Amino acid sequence: MIDSGILIILSGPSGSGKDTVLGALMQRRSDVRVSISMTTREPRGQELDGVHYYFVSRSYFEKKIAEDRMLEYAEYAGNFYGTPKDPVDEMLRAGNAVFLEIEVQGAEKIRQRYPDVISIFLLPPSMAALEARLRGRNSEDEETLQHRLVIAREEIRRAAEYDYIVMNDTVENAVDRIETIINAEKQKTCRNKTMISEVINNV
């Protein structure tokens, strides 16, 4: 009944729980996919090609840009990072809810290219909770952590640019809220043009 899939941006500051929430959402629903980013940087630690990133050469990435096969991309510290278009299109054609886990700047670029995209901002319940989560990772020095909190505050200020705000007080609640959004969006008229004509035409 649904005309095609739904493209959904998920943004949120570092430590807001994007990976955990998307992991739990995929466990619950078979129609959810998460886009895998492409990068020219080297794999680190346990990172696997095609799981954490598509690890590609600089010339390959530049070719994809030239062919207009990137939904969005940016360069950080001498490496390209971006979202390849073809796998996303294929998952959408199959009727999935396809999530792009991207930053505020990338979200802006996608919105300009795909006005139909839905955007969700994952909000921590408080700055104190965010700080506790970042400290819980135990992987950074104090200076890096304080820098992340400054960035987080700036990102949260831009939450107003998103269609929906999802509070991540618990993973269960956040997943419920995102499911509600997917289910409501599936009832949007723009995704059900065929349903209208079916009712009119099939007597």
Residues that bind a second copy (CB under 8 A): 121, 123-128, 153, 156-157, 159-167, 177, 180-181, 183-185, 187-189, 192-193, 195-196, 199-200, 202-203
Cβ at position 16, least distance to a second copy in Å: 10
The number of beta carbons lying within 10 Å of the beta carbon of residue 116 is: 11
DSSP annotation of 37 reads P
Phi, psi (deg, nearest 5) at residue 156: -60, -35
Nearest CA to 97 among 190, 161, 25?
A: 25
Please say which residue, 9 or 38, places its beta carbon nearer to a second copy: 9
- Whole-angstrom Cα distance, residue 67 to residue 61? 10
CB of 7 to a second copy, least distance (A): 16
Nearer to a second copy, 74 or 132 (CB): 132
Which one, 51 or 160, has the nearer CB to a second copy? 160
Number of Cβ within a 10 Å radius of residue 181: 18
Tokens standing for residue 89? 């299109």
We find the least distance from the C-beta atom of residue 9 to a second copy, in angstroms, to be 13
Smallest gap, in angstroms, from Cβ of residue 109 to a second copy?
Answer: 19
